[in-house]
Amino acid sequence: MNYIITTEQLTKKYKSFVAVNDVTLHIRKGSIYGFLGPNGAGKSTTMKMLLGLTAPTNGSFTIDGKQFPTDRIAILKEVGSFIESPSFYANLTGKENLDIIRRILGLPQSTVDDALELVGLSEFGNRLAKKYSLGMKQRLGLAGALLGRPPILILDEPTNGLDPSGIHEIRNLIKSLPDLYDCTVLISSHMLSEIELIADDIGILNHGRLLFEGSLDDLRQHALQSGFATDNLEDMFLSMVEKDNASRKQRAKL
Ligand SMILES: Nc1ncnc2c1ncn2[C@@H]1O[C@H](COP(=O)(O)OP(=O)(O)O)[C@@H](O)[C@H]1O
Ligand SMILES: [Mg+2]
């Protein structure tokens, strides 16, 4: 299998609290990988480690054949990211905001128009960021991640705070990316229903532990075997998490 990101027992501790616990991930090249888990599961912490924003306590990872931490800078050049709600200069236009990021990354000027085009904001590039709707701001955040068309995108809850039509819009945009240009997308969410329409593969995290990893078809199989209706994977996801929580409580009592 051709994996573009693999992690090996990735672990992050904050003092004695284990936020990410022995997580081994396999992300296929060209896929959309849905990284799922309730709030506090450790999704953002994992993504921050992959982006070199926080150091692992243990474990390692490889991105496009490059090993962390040796190839840290080379890794950064390949990854576009969207972490939590992106902030922009309100009194600059969308285009000017992107141009600031472009300069930091040392990319050619043409990448700004290209990124605006990819997210469907070309017409609004010269509008002030403060006049953007929430959905447009999220698009602009995505455009920032797409500058220079990086082969890997790491998107942390990119639909957070959007209304249903905004969610729909961003979801379609993300789904179209691997076809628009050859990229791999790692996207997190706390709702499976939001991801199941676009993801090829799924990883489910709870309390820092990976409970499941596999294709959506594998998850459907798993649902069938566990007696769940496969037309409602969200229920199946929630009960997987509940079961894990219950066995944690049980273990804590012993
Ligand atoms: N800098 C930090 N110091 C201490 N605890 C943290 C820090 N960052 C995150 N955590 C804790 O780690 C856990 C995982 O957080 P996070 O990765 O943000 O989860 P998610 O993105 O899945 O909601 C949470 O319990 C959170 O409170
Ligand atoms: Mg998070």
Walk me through the domains of the chain, giving residue ranges and CATH numbers. Answer: 3-209 (3.40.50.300)
When pLDDT is cut at 50, 70 and 90, the band that residue 223 belongs to is confident
User: Which residue from 44, 187, 191 has its CB within 8 A of the most atoms of ligand 1, so it is best to mutate?
Assistant: 44
Cβ of residue 21 lying under 6 Å from some atom of ligand 1: no
What percent of the chain clears pLDDT 70, i.e. is strictly above it? Answer: 100
Mean pLDDT throughout 17-44? Answer: 97
Task: Tell me what pLDDT residue 150 has.
Answer: 96
Residues with Cβ within 8 Å of residue 113, at least 6 apart in sequence: 122, 125
Chain centroid to CA 34: 7
> Worst-scoring range by mean pLDDT, 59-73, 123-137, 160-174?
160-174
Residue 113 reports pLDDT greater than 80: yes
Cβ of residue 59 lying under 6 Å from some atom of ligand 1: no
Residue owning the nearest CA to atom 18 of ligand 1: 44
Residue 79 reports pLDDT greater than 80: yes
Residue 231 reports pLDDT greater than 80: no
Higher pLDDT, 233 or 107: 107
d(Cα 71, Cα 73) in Å, to the nearest integer?
Answer: 6
Mean pLDDT throughout 160-164? Answer: 84
For residue 42, the ligand closest to its alpha carbon is 1
Task: Tell me what pLDDT residue 35 has.
Answer: 98
Task: Tell me what pLDDT residue 224 has.
Answer: 86
- The answer to whether the CB of 132 falls within 8 A of the CB of 94 is yes
Residue owning the nearest CA to atom 7 of ligand 1: 14
For residue 12, the ligand closest to its alpha carbon is 1
